[in-house]
Each structure stands twice: as C-alpha cells, then as structure tokens.
Structure 1
Amino acid sequence: MPHVEVSQDSDHQLALLARWEGCSKGEIIARLLTRLSVEESSLGSAKAGVKVPVYANYKKQRVEGWFDPATHMLGIVSPPWDGQVFDDPSPAAGAVVERANSLLPLEKRVSISRNGWIFWRLTATGEQIQSLRIGKAAEQRS
C-alpha cells in the first residue's frame, strides 16, 4: 500500500477529521481529492462529459450510474435502464422508485417524487451528490 508523509500537525488534523466523520484518515484524503477533482472539472471548464460514478440503494437494491456535475445529467447503467440518461438527478431517482413500485401491489406503492440530490451518492465517498453542486462549492470557498 502506498505511503504518504505529512507533518505531525497535518496528521493530527487528519485524525480529528476522521474521528468527526467516522472514517479513516485515508478516506478523508480520498474524499477531499474526489471533491477537488470534480470541482476543478466543473468550475474550471464549461465542458460537459465529466462522469462521476454514483449509486443509489432503494428497497435493498443497489443501482449504479454516473453523474455529470456540469450538466446535471445522470445516467443509470444498471438493468433495466442500461444507460438511460436523465436531464436531472430527481427524474432518475423517480425512475428507480417507479421500477420498485411496479413490483408491488397497488396498495403498497409510494410516490415516485424524490429529491435526486440526496437520493444518489458518490461511489468514491458515499456522500450525497449535492456535495458536488457548483453553487455550494463556491459558497464554501468564500
């Protein structure tokens, strides 16, 4: 496993963050690097095409996909969607709930309306994809 040297002070700060977040120091570094690379891609250019791996767990089923922070498009790669692309995370979340509903009796079905920004999570960190919102990232830096 690779080794990274940091100052004693930085190691102490990483340990504090790790305790606060309930994860390892390595996971803290991975989260920060993922956020940095996504923000740089999103803010540094208007180009679409950065596809960040995402997932959702709903009714004990894991659904895999990708999210483009520049366009807010979300594609679902798991069957039965097999690459279907949605203009926004919320309709994609609704499609997952709708599929689950189709397997239930009518009286047990629920509304498909979902906030996709909290429904979908980053595969690398488990954070909600709302952590990638450009406006939020800009606010955090000021």
Structure 2
Amino acid sequence: MTHKVTVDDDVYLVLTTLSLAWGVSISEAITRIAESKPPAEAPDDNHDNGAVPVHAIYFGTRTCGFFDPTTRHLTVTDGPAQGTYKSPSGASRAVLQALNPAVSPVRTGWLFWKITATGEPLNTLRHRPRLFTGTNHLPNPQTPAPAPSPEP
C-alpha cells in the first residue's frame, strides 16, 4: 500500500540528505527513522564526578559518552568504540574508524562531539580554565610576590 505525504521544504531537504548519506530511497530513509529505537540512556555513574554527557551522530548512529573537564578525557559509553580516550579527537577517530573505515578519521573531536544537554559543540567548554591535578603550575596565593627591583 502506498500513501502520499506532504512535508515542508526543509523536512524534504533533511530526508533527501539522509537518503543520499545512507544510499537508500527517501521512502527507506523514512522507514529507518520510523523504526529506529530511541538511544539508550548512557549510564549516569560518571555524571557525579563532574563529567559532561556528550554525544555524536555519525553515519546514522548516535554514540554517547562523557567528557571529563578536569582531565579532558572522553569516555565512549556505547557502540563499537567504547573506551576512554585521552582527548575528544582520539574518541572521534575511534568512532569514525569503527562506523566508516573507508573515510579519513581526521576530525577535531571538539566539534564532532555535542553537549547532550544543550546540543552545543564540545569546543564551548574548551577554553574554560583547565583544572589541574597534582602539581599546580599556578602561583600560590600564599607566596608573597617578589619585591620590585630598585630603579637606578
């Protein structure tokens, strides 16, 4: 049975883009969307330590994880690239290689990953002051500043 559906131009553009990206007809793209399951919620155990829930959608697959602003490590919690990576870019490379090995995995992870709560790119957190662990390289406020040199 076939039915006609009227959609706005912007919806049609999205459907066309998806069908081209997936290599299927528009009808099949709509079927994939209709039959897709909502993404499983990522475990919230990392959220208590200040980790930020993030996600990326690539090659029709949503991948979830957590970004730790202290270490700047990114942990992928689902999909074929599960694990903890030293950087968002390392995590994005792993996702790209797992989902589409034919494409170059060179990407900046700061733009690849989105903050789940806001949808903003992860790079909005990039320029916040980095929290240091262990030896702090910032001046100790308890140490008095050196006396100025006398002028001749």
Structure 2 length-normalised TM: 0.50
| Residue 51 in structure 1 maps to residue 44 in structure 2 | no
| Residue 66 in structure 1 maps to residue 59 in structure 2 | no
AA in 2 matched with 1:94: R
Work out the percentage of aligned pairs sharing the same amino acid.
41
Q: Aligned partners of 2:66 and 2:128: how far apart in 1?
A: 19
Higher normalized contact order (CA 8 Å, seq sep 6+, divided by chain length) = 1
Unaligned stretches of 5+ in structure 1? 1-48, 103-108
User: Alpha-carbon deviation of 1:60?
Assistant: 1.1
Unaligned stretches of 5+ in structure 2? 1-48, 130-152
Partner of 2:98: 99
AA in 2 matched with 1:70: T
Rg larger in 1 or in 2?
Answer: 2
AA in 2 matched with 1:97: L
Kindly report the root-mean-square deviation, in angstroms, between the aligned alpha carbons of the 2 structures. Answer: 1.4
AA in 2 matched with 1:110: V
Partner of 1:126: 119
AA in 1 matched with 2:59: K
List, as ranges, runs of 4+ consecutive aligned residues in structure 1 with deviation greater than 4 Å: none
Q: Aligned partners of 2:128 and 2:79: how far apart in 1?
A: 32
Q: Aligned partners of 2:128 and 2:75: how far apart in 1?
A: 23
Distance 1:110 1:81, change over 3 A: closer
SS at match of 2:105: coil
Measured against aligned partners, the alpha-carbon deviations of 1:46-105 in whole angstroms (never above 9, x if no partner) come to xxx4211000000111000000112110000012234x1000000100001001124xxx
User: Alpha-carbon deviation of 1:137?
Assistant: 3.8
SS at match of 1:94: helix
AA in 2 matched with 1:123: T
SS at match of 1:124: coil
Q: Give the total of aligned pairs.
A: 81
